[in-house]
Structure 1
Amino acid sequence: MLFVEILIILLATKIAGEISIRLGQPAVLGKLIIGIIIGPAVFGWIQESEIIHQLSEIGVILLMFIAGLETDVKSLRQNRNSSIAVAVGGIIFPLLGGYLVGLVMGLSQSHALFLGLLLSATSVSISAQTLKELGHLKSRESATILGAAVLDDILVVVGLAVMMSLLTAEEVSLGAVLFKKLIFFVAIGLLGWKAVPWIMNKFSSWRVSESVVSTALVLCFFFAYLAESLGVAAIIGAFAAGVAISQTPYRRVVEQKIEPIAYAFFVPIFFVSIGLSVSFVGMGGQLWFIVGLTIVAVLTKLLGSGLGARLTGFHRRSALGIGAGMVSRGEVALIIAAIGLEAHLLKQEYFTAIITVVILTTLITPPLLKKLFSKLEANHETVT
């Protein structure tokens, strides 16, 4: 009954988003919580399925594509040193924190190290949406968060490749992993600089309906496919496509036409899909593990990434806001958890607890950003 499920998702997310706004929180928080309520954990109206998964993938790709369209490229370049510091701090602290928690829980060295690596992941799709709602997506802080997320993705994937090559029977060539990453960034650099403007100009003159928007979507999904094929998260490719198109005269028309498509249909499905992985069955015995690991997951990103921002010129509140923007582990950590389970780097009995922690970090991010950015005036509180 796909049509009924979509009806429930669209209606429920709009109602939940409105309630969240009336309670003084970003709409995205209500949409994330309603996914848990209508999912298997509570009412069971919506079940995980391949079609829901695929639609949610489109949703997160479009979400990051729009974030790319609205990104200030000049600010992104100016804050590259801050992005590097934020990414490095946001990996070292969670890696150590997760490793120590794993040892305390009695995990082996390899399993504890994998837990640390999993906590090092960052997915800023939820942060990007929250910052957009708060009117900070074009700020210096936002540019730093988005830049750090790209680097974080690279470093975590490389770390995963090293770990799997050393600790499992799988043959993973670190050189091949790095080479594929290099190909990706060289390719999107050249395509974004030369090919994207030419393609947008070429196809904009076609007389078929919505030629500009259709061309933009083709580029978005091509960049996402290219990223995933070369071992980089698809959302990074979509973000890169948005940044490239933002440098053309078609930025505004693409943004105006894509947003209704994304936010009316695909993005709500993505928000709900996050909650579908939640299950309260058998969680009682691991409650303290979940609570403790969630606290470590939040604090290590908040402090690690925040310290990186502080050391590169941001004031305290701005630095903490940047740290908060890196807290959500989202779909990136879910993918790493699935890989770890298959490679026997994550025990089956801890899998549900880890998924719960990942989702909790995602739920915590919107109100945390709201609190830290509510009094922040970026033009006054950051050192330019």
Structure 2
Amino acid sequence: MASAATHVSFLPPVLTFLSAAVIGVPIFRLIGQSAVLGYLVAGVVIGPFGFSLIAEPETAASVAELGVVLLLFIVGLELQISRLVSMRRDIFGLGTAQLFVCSAALAGVGILMGAKPAASLVIGIALALSATAVALQLLEERGDMGTPYGGRAFAVLLFQDISVVAILALMPLFAASGPSGGDGWLLAALQSTGTVGAAILAVVLVGRYGLNPFFGLLAASGAREVMTAAALLVVLGTAMLMEHVGLSMAMGAFLAGVLLAESNFRHQLEADIEPFRGMLLGLFFMSVGMSIDGGLLKAEWPTLLGATAGAILLKVALVAGLFRLFGSPWLDAVRGGAILAPAGEFAFVLLPAGGELGLVDPAGTRFAVALAALTMLVGPVAAKALDTVLARRPEGPETTPEAIESTEARVLVIGFGRFGQILTQVLLAEGISVTVIDKDVEQIRSASRFGFRIYYGDGTRLDVLRAAGIGRAELLCVCVDDGEAALKIVDIVHEEFASVRTYVRAYDRMHAVELMNRDVDFQLRETVESALAFGRATLEGLGLSAEAATATAEDVRKRDIARLVLQQAGAAPDATFWTRGVSEIKPEPLTEPQRPSRALNAETRGIIGSKTREAATRTLEAPVTQTPAHAAQDAHSDA
């Protein structure tokens, strides 16, 4: 059994990493820079070439690599077939052109500088990739995700994320072709390819036919922490399998994400994985900062700074030219080039992998890693400065069919029970795009026939709402039958997404008043309209004309809403005592009774006693009359 001293020995490095993140990231966010830069600089400060608080960065590297694994898993989750089809021209056209042109140009520069062709190619590809985390953060800060250049930049990043998987898969085979040679190499390559193919086929089959039933069984148990454990099990298990057959862990995580991209549990899985991904990716960036060779930087700083400026300018020029070729105005083209100029996080995966495979010598790996890190430090600052200059120029409106928002739903519906099903039928009839969130497995199965985007998840969780795209939805419909859960959702949305309108199903009259006090845009008690329609049909069955029955039901509607407004204000005579922030509301007649109630048997007289006469007297003393407020309101009521 481990001693207390052994446990305590793990605390200093953990506390160091946490302190560096808590201090460094907010500082960079306050000065308008990306959190990634904060992590990188924090890593430099605490690393061996800073204050040496972490003397051995490699101790954290193996754990930090899980951040990249989880990042690729989430990238796989985003790769729905519909999105790929709608953005296919920019993804596979512009994305392919960017990667090949930039890789070839950067590799050519490396060869001219005297590097070997294999090393130049690996370094060129690594530097041609862009920083997904940095680029997306800058686009979100500017609000440009839905603009034409933002959509094209996202398409390029998406292709790069896809291509990383193929690059990592091919690098071991490419390395094997060098020193072996002859028939022995060919046989080894065929065996390796067969093993890889068999492993991928096994993962695809299990994912296609086993994951959804597996997660459905776990979801039915209602244990949320088991779902989180299962998500990590699938991601890390697939990653380990791919590593075992000679590919990368990132390849396995990416495959797991793609296989779950169309799953009903996608958003819940993304929400469960996100905290681990964020922390581990931050640790990964800090480990990158710690890995920067301070001795190399001091010895060759003119070369490194010159190479950094040259790489950024070359990428901006090449990417801007490709954006222009694909139809972007020159202003958008330059912005897109600046966004994609910094080398990406996968450079710190490809370069060490190339070094381990013997494609890049140790000195070249050290230089390229330092260069990639410097482009990440300098590139976002340059992009922000360029954007400040370009933002002053007027721009005309542009639209593009590949805009990212076109793939998002206009309405987010939480709850697919009997109420939500009828609501979504109306939206479906009008062709409105809808995303539905529900944590009931049976309801998810029922919804599969509607053609909606529907995912397993808990709508009271902020991370699930954010993953489902609430920030881009026009309207939120809360249709859950749990009053407290509905209030919690409203509070979260009003605080975090003030621009989203809230339409809420109310459970009863008191719940409706609480929702009105929270300034929801619309609320409706779940049985009011059906009860009014039922009453109208009853009057017609008793012989009243349809017009008279409708007029009576409408009069009751107006009286009810007038009473509801008074109850919200606390001025209604039926308020008895304070509870949950509103007065307890008891059923009261909206029309003056023609006679007192009468008990028809002894049991009834024992239940109501003299309270019957008191209630009748109170009603006669304070009758409800029609006021102008009656005609000014719409109905939201059942007792």
* Counterpart residue number, 2:210: 195
Q: Could you give the per-residue CA deviations for residues 169-210 of structure 1, whole angstroms, max 9, x where no partner exists? A: 474766667667766766666555443322221221235452
* Counterpart residue number, 2:282: 268
Q: Does 1:295 align with 2:306?
A: no
* Candidates 244, 248, 251, aligned match of 2:266: 251
Q: Could you give the per-residue CA deviations for residues 242-269 of structure 1, whole angstroms, max 9, x where no partner exists? A: 4544533333433333333443x43332
Provide the TM-score with structure 2 as the length reference.
0.50
Inter-partner Cα distance in structure 1 for 2:321 and 2:244:
33
CA distance 1:104–1:136, change in 2 (3 Å):
same
**Maintained 8 Å contact 1:73/1:243:** no
* Counterpart residue number, 1:283: 297
Q: Could you give the per-residue CA deviations for residues 61-80 of structure 1, whole angstroms, max 9, x where no partner exists? A: 23343444456653233223
Bigger Cα displacement from structure 2, 199-208 vs 150-159: 150-159
CA distance 1:13–1:214, change in 2 (3 Å):
same
Instruction: Report the CA distance between 1:281 and its aligned residue.
Output: 0.8
Inter-partner Cα distance in structure 2 for 1:174 and 1:310:
41
Residue pairs, 1:50-65, within 5 angstroms: 51-65=59-73
* Candidates 148, 163, 185, aligned match of 2:159: 148
Instruction: Report the CA distance between 1:119 and its aligned residue.
Output: 3.4
* Candidates 84, 108, 113, aligned match of 1:76: 84
CA distance 1:353–1:335, change in 2 (3 Å):
same
* Counterpart residue number, 1:17: 25
**Maintained 8 Å contact 1:29/1:363:** yes
Q: Does 1:119 align with 2:127?
A: yes
Inter-partner Cα distance in structure 2 for 1:289 and 1:105:
12
* Counterpart residue number, 2:538: none
CA distance 1:62–1:203, change in 2 (3 Å):
same
Helix, strand or coil: the match of 2:11? helix
Bigger Cα displacement from structure 2, 184-193 vs 57-66: 184-193
Provide the TM-score with structure 1 as the length reference.
0.78
Whose helix proportion is higher, 1 or 2?
1
* Counterpart residue number, 2:240: 225
**Maintained 8 Å contact 1:313/1:383:** no
- Contiguous gaps of at least 5 residues in structure 2: 1-8, 403-639
Q: Could you give the per-residue CA deviations for residues 296-337 of structure 1, whole angstroms, max 9, x where no partner exists? A: 433444444555555445555555555556545445333443
Q: Could you give the per-residue CA deviations for residues 114-157 of structure 1, whole angstroms, max 9, x where no partner exists? A: 54344345563554566566667787346513431244325544
Bigger Cα displacement from structure 2, 102-111 vs 21-30: 102-111
Inter-partner Cα distance in structure 1 for 2:216 and 2:338:
39
Helix, strand or coil: the match of 1:249? coil
CA distance 1:352–1:382, change in 2 (3 Å):
same
Helix, strand or coil: the match of 1:31? helix
Query: What letter is aligned with 1:293?
Result: A
Indicate the structure whose relative CO is greater, using CA pairs within 8 Å and at least 6 residues apart. Answer: 1
- Contiguous gaps of at least 5 residues in structure 1: none
Bigger Cα displacement from structure 2, 268-277 vs 283-292: 283-292
**Maintained 8 Å contact 2:67/2:276:** no
Residue pairs, 1:364-379, within 5 angstroms: 364=378, 366-367=380-381
* Counterpart residue number, 1:337: 351
Inter-partner Cα distance in structure 2 for 1:19 and 1:319:
31
Inter-partner Cα distance in structure 1 for 2:325 and 2:211:
36
* Counterpart residue number, 2:249: 234
Residue pairs, 1:349-368, within 5 angstroms: 349-364=363-378, 366-367=380-381
Q: Does 1:85 align with 2:126?
A: no
Q: Does 1:101 align with 2:112?
A: no
Q: Does 1:43 align with 2:51?
A: yes
Q: Could you give the per-residue CA deviations for residues 321-368 of structure 1, whole angstroms, max 9, x where no partner exists? A: 555565454453334433444555434444322220121233345446
Inter-partner Cα distance in structure 1 for 2:201 and 2:387:
35
Helix, strand or coil: the match of 1:346? coil
Query: What letter is aligned with 1:241?
Result: A
**Maintained 8 Å contact 2:111/2:120:** yes
CA distance 1:310–1:187, change in 2 (3 Å):
farther
Inter-partner Cα distance in structure 2 for 1:58 and 1:36:
20
* Counterpart residue number, 2:225: 210
CA distance 1:73–1:5, change in 2 (3 Å):
farther
* Counterpart residue number, 2:607: none
**Maintained 8 Å contact 1:123/1:149:** no
Inter-partner Cα distance in structure 2 for 1:132 and 1:152:
24
Query: Greater CA radius of gyration, 1 or 2?
Result: 2
Query: What letter is aligned with 1:164?
Result: A
**Maintained 8 Å contact 1:76/1:144:** no
Inter-partner Cα distance in structure 1 for 2:194 and 2:317:
32
**Maintained 8 Å contact 2:28/2:35:** yes
Inter-partner Cα distance in structure 2 for 1:324 and 1:301:
8
Inter-partner Cα distance in structure 1 for 2:80 and 2:306:
37
Query: What letter is aligned with 2:54?
Result: I
Bigger Cα displacement from structure 2, 292-301 vs 121-130: 121-130
**Maintained 8 Å contact 1:10/1:268:** no
**Maintained 8 Å contact 1:47/1:276:** no
Q: Could you give the per-residue CA deviations for residues 92-126 of structure 1, whole angstroms, max 9, x where no partner exists? A: 33333333333443335555455434434556355
Bigger Cα displacement from structure 2, 106-115 vs 207-216: 106-115
Helix, strand or coil: the match of 2:295? coil
Inter-partner Cα distance in structure 2 for 1:346 and 1:140:
35
Counting aligned pairs with the same residue, the percent is: 25
**Maintained 8 Å contact 2:118/2:360:** no
Helix, strand or coil: the match of 1:283? helix
Instruction: Report the CA distance between 1:10 and its aligned residue.
Output: 1.4
RMSD value over aligned CA atoms?
A: 4.0
Inter-partner Cα distance in structure 2 for 1:185 and 1:305:
33
**Maintained 8 Å contact 1:62/1:238:** yes
**Maintained 8 Å contact 1:28/1:366:** no
Inter-partner Cα distance in structure 2 for 1:301 and 1:188:
37
Instruction: Report the CA distance between 1:228 and its aligned residue.
Output: 3.9
